[in-house]
Amino acid sequence: MGDISKDIKTSFKNNKLKALINIKYTSNWLNSKENEFFKPYGISPQQFNILRILRGAKDKVKVQIVKDIMIERAPNATRLMDKLCDKNLIERERCDHDRRVVYVKIKREGLTLLETIDVNKNLSFLENLTEEEAILLSSLLDKIR
């Protein structure tokens, strides 16, 4: 098992500071693993999140709603959606009676890509945790927020 103190070669004043640094360190580690995982699929983790949101929506949804429920509130969400449109994974549609409103919808190609990713079991970076440990970790993270 890893130890943050050994990994970054330092000691901590207290365990709460150690936990905080460990959360940040682990977050960066997970981000790196995610980027590595999605690279062969030609998308970013944020684009994957958008595709999953649109798959769950089942029909067109306002761009603002997608932005509101993204895991990582990306200020560049519109640009991320532009790239997904360019890759023919989603489609964009303007509202007829209010040009400021834009809808997005996942296309068949986007659903196919998600199915391919779903089949690949390497997306779980928490395989070292038992189900009980995962429940405890999730509960502790919820408690922090």
CATH code, domain carrying 78: 1.10.10.10
The answer as to whether 16 is a domain residue is yes
Contacts of 82 (CB under 8 A, 6+ apart): none
Residues 58, 33 share a domain: no
Between 120 and 87, where is the model more confident? Answer: 87
- For the chain, what percent of residues have pLDDT higher than 90? 63
Residue 145 lies in a domain: no
Domain that holds residue 16: 12-41
pLDDT of residue 124: 76
Count up the domains in the chain and report the number.
Answer: 2
Distance between CA 84 and CA 92 in Å, rounded?
10
In terms of domains, do 51 and 94 share one? yes
Cα–Cα distance, 132 to 140 (Å, whole number): 12
Stated pTM of the model: 0.82
